[in-house]
Structure 1
Amino acid sequence: MEHIWLPCSSSSDDTDCYLGDRGKCERSGDKLRCTACHVVAHSGCLVHLSTGSVQCKTTFREPHRKGREAVDALGGHHWVHRWKYEGRCSGCAKSFHQKIFFKGIQEKKEPAAVTCSWCKESFHLKNCFDDHKLNEKCDKGGLRDLIVPPQWIVRASKKRKMNSQNPNPKSKTFMVRRADSWLGCPSQPLLVFVNPKSGGNKGAKALQTFCWLLNPRQVFDITSLKGPKFGLELYRKVLTHLRILVCGGDGTVGWVLSTLDKLSWPVYPPIGIMPFGTGNDLSRCLGWGGSFSDEPLSQLLNSISHETTVTQLDRWKLQVMANVDCPLGDEEDEEVQSSLPLTVMNNYFSIGADAHVALQFHHSRSANPQMLNSRLKNRIAYGGLGTIDLFKRSWKDLSEFVQLECDGVDLTPKIKELKLHCILFHNITYYAGGTVPWGQDQDDSCKASYCDGRIEVLGFTTATLAALQMGGRGERIAQCSTARMKTTKAIPMQVDGEPVLLAPSLISLSFHSKVPMMRREKKGVCAPPLRGRTRGRRSGTDSPSSSTSLIVQIPVLVVGRHDYDTFKDSLERLKDTAFEIGTIKAETEMELSRGRQIIDRLLVDHPCLPYEYSSDWSFLDYVSNADEGTFRVSRQEECVMAVSDASNTDDCLLILDDSFPSMTERSREILTSHIMFLPSNDSPWQPPTHSTNRRISETLRIVLSADAQETHL
């Protein structure tokens, strides 16, 4: 199996080249990482790596390999040596220590760990790894119910590909066949569609992490493949057991649903959402949140199996006919369209003021795509356009050009009476980035729901639209199952965020279908099993007394928000920016909630703390999901996680405090005001590199401590 090479995530990646210990490392070119097995090598070392025995994990089977033995042969572990590894041994539960090797000392470097790329089990190579594990079957770890096994994916034979009449021969390269005879058959195989352009750089990073956690052939880049059609067609034969995860905004979810409509699937798989978009209102409604936090993706995948229920989402059909009684005049805008951009609505359909702002934003982004390429910039631009429209009141006379009928009842007089500037047909709970336009109503008879076969119709003026962001709500017009609207002028409209200037038309809205969606329901955090108990099970006993807790002296280091966002993928670089606030005495199995109380006292009693601390600081976990980086521990998880679950008790305990100043930002100031680098005549001045980072950090700590002592005195 060939590796899937991509550039390492950041320049701070200090992972050694895989060939470094064997004397074959060229040390030339950029470092590349295989997204499937996490082997790291220089670009100049790939030739030597390909000639060796370092193969990537096999993600499919060849067509000529048939029979039970061929299928079972793909079910083994894929062991890879790791020269540096954070985390704990699955055998002895101790952390992995890397020896420090200095230049000039000719000593053979030994691997720190050996890890399976499928189940993620890690062992010390010398004392904890047994040879019988080389022939042992792999159970695919905690995500076994989601991982598509390589036994299912068959590469098509060359003869079959040559005879294929499909205009897209790539779709015939592989076929997916369910192998029920294999004992490790997943109960909920997951298909992942990622929009890497969403969420800044988070989308691209999530794509690589999913390839590591799952089978890379069940993860698809929805932009490079120009849609989800290829992946959906590939897995069509297993649709009755399939689940889908969409990593993007509400528009990406609509893209997948519309493709399913075109493929005419008899049954739609349940769909979950990883919110990477700007508004993410559908994601909020289904319990996935309004934005993606730094939750480990392995934890997110676990929640799909254990924290989701399948619910139904109503979808609505929009039909447009031209209003022949009001033909367009020569003075009308050239941008007027005769049809809507979407014919099926999932979230909302609106007409008037808010669609006018969305249309202006669409034109601005089309003209300057490089200026509006992040969620924050989009929100700022959208807010600015909305503020301008608030004063202009461009569609204050909307009621003069609209006639509305809901379930056969004419509501045009009510629209004229209220002098509405916007009419909204709302299918879900949230709108415009988290607002609740229908309001929270305890009366079940008129409570808004996305699965009751009714749609909520609301009206707004420009002022009430602006008040939505401050907790306001719209004017309730009706709840209905059918609606008809007649316009006598070209009016801006939008369907699920896709705006258009629509010519005078007759628009009818009716129920289209229900689709299954995965709703995330946060349950109580399950306490991880104690490592002592795990060892007891392996030895045939279940006695809790086999767990031992040691008392350790562990330093507590604090990092700031800017440094955490910059270096959270590299633990060593992150610790370089940290400030030690003291040392605590604690048991290794002490709950983090108890540790919070001890650290709070440490902060209060500190004689010269170099900053004003905040009580909202968080613990950082750099052990349990070390392959994915460093993560914040939520307050709810502190009562079920131990000190040793989040940190290496032989090293340090990390906390994140937004009030702590950035060490890297302060180091630049100190660099210019306290440290002078004098260039030679042969070389120009260069900024400090990684080799000077530790010296700068130490200087910064001295200055911070001096400032604190002066303030204290």
Structure 2
Amino acid sequence: MTYSYCSLKVKDVLREFDADGRLAQYRHGECIDEHGFRLFLKTYLEVEDFPADLCQRLFRSFQTSDQTKTVALREVFLKDVSCYFSLLEDGQPRDKLEFAFRLYDRDGNGVLDSSEVDRIIAQMMHAADYLGWDVSELRPVLKDMMTAIDSDSSGTVSLDEWVEGGMNNVPLLVLLGLKMTQKDGQHLWRMKHFNKPVYCNVCQNMLLGLRKQGLCCTCCKYTVHGRCANRNPDPCTRTYVMSKKDIGVSTHDWVSGNCDSGKCDRCQKKIKSLHGLTGKRCVWCHTLRHDECVNQEPSECNCGPLRDHILPPWAIYPVIKERTNCVKNSCSGVTDDTDHNTTPDGQVLQINPVPNTHPLLVFVNPKSGGKQGERVLRKFQYLLNPRQVYNLSSGGPGPGLCFFRDLQDYRILVCGGDGTVGWILDAIDKASLPVRPPVAVLPLGTGNDLARCLRWGGGENSSLCVLSRGGLKACELCTVSLLIMCSWFVFMFKSPCRMKNKLWYFEFATSETISASCKKLKECLTIECCGVQLDLSNLSLEGIAVLNIPSMHGGSNLWGEAKKSDRGGQDLPEVIVDPEELKVSPQDLSDKRLEVVGLEGAMEMGQIYTGLKSAVRLAKTSQITIRTKKPLPMQIDGEPWMQPPCTIHITHKNQASMLMAPQSKSSGFFNLK
């Protein structure tokens, strides 16, 4: 399945609801009903149809208890809908601030009066409440913030005041959910509440209030009051040096304060911060020192325990103008979003790695099954150089692969589910890298079957293994219904917890056991392996699975353990379909073969998961052709859809280097070594 980004913006769709627009009849004052909401989605997403149940759920999410007192129960404010969708779009904060101004300027007179400002404050209160803040302490801060934006004290806020004030008002951007354009030396703020005494790095006073809330920089942990964020705080840590002559000059980058209970690296005494900011912490090696111990030797920074993985600023420098085009051309096969890898004056950044290190390139999918990606993203931005860490929802993997492409010895860490890993491996293929780096997995999905096969848990030790990958091509493909997929994603977003997602799996499996929608599967499809057609006539199957790893659906080994084989070092044939030979054929990640198994029903999966039995082994092959005769539910890496009749070709594509964690040592009494 392929996805495409919609070309329309929210402001384009809003024009359709104007008096002379084609959707004007569905606008009732400032509101739209459910049918108008559905037309909004269809126009914005540029689709012919949209699942009714998903539309209904989204429509209800815009209805609030306050709203039902002022508008009809079956209507929502068009401005609320457009505001939320506009915040999801990519774009500059200045453009979004201007769009937000137009939305909240209800009378269209070009200024925000007191009632319109109150509505903005209410929106920010709603955002803060969603983030778990104590909003009772926040309202006066927001009022002061909005008053400060009114620079001429006229009692109203003009567009220029709103944009200029907003661009320089960090708390406003954070609370409105607008992403700030990050530049070197600029803090990456997020709202946070602290469970211990913390001092502001600007005014040096303690963060007060029930929950000690303030703004904290993700990269350097610089902490401020909301009101102090605009008072010219010290710059964030640098991420690169200004010229090539500074390459290799390693120095500490100290941040003051909030080192309470830590031990000084020089005198080995505790750092106490009872009455203000005391102590300093290095951003790169995370060493703690008393203020008076900072200037003592050694002054060089060794990047601490993570030195093998960190790309320090003295390993990155801007490329001179003459070489810029050459570097850009080497990345022509990747996405064009390279802002992450350029300086403000447009020069491309180049890496000169520290000798005998293996820099880590991190890709994080914040939308993977466990919904833990945002926290993982922030953690790696703090532990490593932020230029090593890429949010896959902002530009994909292309910029990161382009930035690291000339390195000879580096590693890739994929933080996400199995689908995310497949995405990165495909991107590596398309990028035509001079060196294919090994890939490790930090499992954030629901099933994480690939991570299970590679034994990834806690720890960093690993060995290199080769993973065989399959390629899939569907022919005679009709329009695919997104109803099942959309319904599943509704459940996923509603319950991002892994355990709840697995309970949904259980509910779906129970329903399928009763309905048996794929009974007599042998009458609905044929399977051909390297030209040999499989005989399914004597089997009562309700499911077919094509495997290249020994784990599926969150840890189920469908192939099962194999008996000892007498084949020895002989080469595998292109296809094995003999049942007796399949019994002694083990599953191997690197044998360039795919396994085909049959499932007798949903209840059988419970027995397979507990190890009581395995699925029916049908074939071991390098090429598979499946021809279906009626619509059937299918899934790849846990993403389901309803597939019309088609022909599917699956072949061995290539092999990828993956990092496998060491075998865990048993701590049982009878397994002592």
- 2:125 corresponds to 1:125: no
Judging changes above 3 Å, is the alpha-carbon distance between structure 1 residues 24 and 83 closer, same or farther for their aligned structure 2 residues? closer
Indicate the residue corresponding to 2:586 in structure 1.
Answer: 447
User: Within 5 A, what are the aligned runs for 1:241-390?
Assistant: 241-289=409-457, 300=459, 303=460, 307-322=461-476, 336=480, 362-366=485-489, 370-390=493-513
| Cα contact 1:320–1:506 (8 A) shared by 2 | yes
Counterparts of 1:172 and 1:39 in 2: how far apart (Å)? 24
- C-alpha displacement at 1:30, in angstroms? 5.3
Indicate the residue corresponding to 1:467 in structure 2.
Answer: 607
Counterparts of 2:371 and 2:474 in 1: how far apart (Å)? 39
| 2:538 match: secondary structure | helix
Judging changes above 3 Å, is the alpha-carbon distance between structure 1 residues 47 and 279 closer, same or farther for their aligned structure 2 residues? same
- C-alpha displacement at 1:420, in angstroms? 0.9
Indicate the residue corresponding to 2:632 in structure 1.
Answer: 491
- C-alpha displacement at 1:425, in angstroms? 1.0
- Counterpart of 2:647, as a letter, is L
Counterparts of 2:260 and 2:208 in 1: how far apart (Å)? 22
| 1:7 match: secondary structure | strand
Judging changes above 3 Å, is the alpha-carbon distance between structure 1 residues 370 and 455 closer, same or farther for their aligned structure 2 residues? closer
Write the deviation string for residues 350-370 of structure 1: whole angstroms up to 9, x where unpaired: xxxxxxxxx875231345664
- C-alpha displacement at 1:77, in angstroms? 0.8
Counterparts of 2:605 and 2:668 in 1: how far apart (Å)? 35
Write the deviation string for residues 540-573 of structure 1: whole angstroms up to 9, x where unpaired: xxxxxxxxxxxxxxxxxxxxxxxxxxxxxxxxxx
Counterparts of 1:376 and 1:199 in 2: how far apart (Å)? 10
Counterparts of 2:207 and 2:357 in 1: how far apart (Å)? 43
Pairing partner for 1:399 from 506, 513, 522? 522
Indicate the residue corresponding to 1:236 in structure 2.
Answer: 405
Judging changes above 3 Å, is the alpha-carbon distance between structure 1 residues 316 and 199 closer, same or farther for their aligned structure 2 residues? closer
Counterparts of 1:424 and 1:201 in 2: how far apart (Å)? 27
Counterparts of 2:511 and 2:664 in 1: how far apart (Å)? 44
| 2:374 match: secondary structure | helix
Write the deviation string for residues 604-648 of structure 1: whole angstroms up to 9, x where unpaired: xxxxxxxxxxxxxxxxxxxxxxxxxxxxxx999xxxxxxxxxxxx
Counterparts of 2:206 and 2:325 in 1: how far apart (Å)? 41
Judging changes above 3 Å, is the alpha-carbon distance between structure 1 residues 157 and 66 closer, same or farther for their aligned structure 2 residues? closer
TM-score (norm: length of structure 1): 0.58
| Cα contact 2:199–2:207 (8 A) shared by 1 | no
Judging changes above 3 Å, is the alpha-carbon distance between structure 1 residues 9 and 521 closer, same or farther for their aligned structure 2 residues? farther
| Cα contact 1:365–1:371 (8 A) shared by 2 | no
Pairing partner for 1:153 from 311, 316, 333? 316
| Cα contact 2:524–2:628 (8 A) shared by 1 | yes
- C-alpha displacement at 1:118, in angstroms? 0.8
- C-alpha displacement at 1:202, in angstroms? 3.1
Indicate the residue corresponding to 2:171 in structure 1.
Answer: none
Which structure is richer in relative contact order (CA contacts within 8 A, separation 6 or more)? 1
Write the deviation string for residues 359-416 of structure 1: whole angstroms up to 9, x where unpaired: 875231345664243323322222111110011111111101222222443322xx22
- 2:307 corresponds to 1:144: yes
Write the deviation string for residues 183-237 of structure 1: whole angstroms up to 9, x where unpaired: x435211101112233656321221111111111111111133x11121122222
| Cα contact 1:161–1:172 (8 A) shared by 2 | no
| Cα contact 2:361–2:413 (8 A) shared by 1 | yes
Judging changes above 3 Å, is the alpha-carbon distance between structure 1 residues 242 and 30 closer, same or farther for their aligned structure 2 residues? same
Judging changes above 3 Å, is the alpha-carbon distance between structure 1 residues 37 and 171 closer, same or farther for their aligned structure 2 residues? closer
| Cα contact 2:193–2:213 (8 A) shared by 1 | no
- C-alpha displacement at 1:82, in angstroms? 2.0
Indicate the residue corresponding to 2:229 in structure 1.
Answer: 46
Indicate the residue corresponding to 1:575 in structure 2.
Answer: none
Judging changes above 3 Å, is the alpha-carbon distance between structure 1 residues 224 and 400 closer, same or farther for their aligned structure 2 residues? same
Counterparts of 1:33 and 1:335 in 2: how far apart (Å)? 47
Write the deviation string for residues 488-521 of structure 1: whole angstroms up to 9, x where unpaired: 2232222222333333333332211000011111
Counterparts of 2:585 and 2:325 in 1: how far apart (Å)? 60
Judging changes above 3 Å, is the alpha-carbon distance between structure 1 residues 478 and 85 closer, same or farther for their aligned structure 2 residues? same
Counterparts of 1:482 and 1:162 in 2: how far apart (Å)? 42
Counterparts of 2:340 and 2:268 in 1: how far apart (Å)? 45
| 1:146 match: secondary structure | coil
Indicate the residue corresponding to 1:438 in structure 2.
Answer: 559
| Cα contact 2:366–2:391 (8 A) shared by 1 | yes
Indicate the residue corresponding to 2:198 in structure 1.
Answer: 15
In structure 2, stretches of 5+ residues that fail to align are 1-183, 566-583
TM-score (norm: length of structure 2): 0.61
Indicate the residue corresponding to 1:173 in structure 2.
Answer: 342
Pairing partner for 1:82 from 228, 245, 257? 257
Percent identical among aligned pairs is: 32
Judging changes above 3 Å, is the alpha-carbon distance between structure 1 residues 261 and 72 closer, same or farther for their aligned structure 2 residues? closer
| 1:207 match: secondary structure | helix
Indicate the residue corresponding to 2:617 in structure 1.
Answer: 476
- C-alpha displacement at 1:95, in angstroms? 3.8
**How many residue pairs get matched?**
456
| 2:424 match: secondary structure | helix
Indicate the residue corresponding to 1:571 in structure 2.
Answer: none
In structure 1, stretches of 5+ residues that fail to align are 102-108, 290-294, 324-333, 338-358, 526-633, 637-713
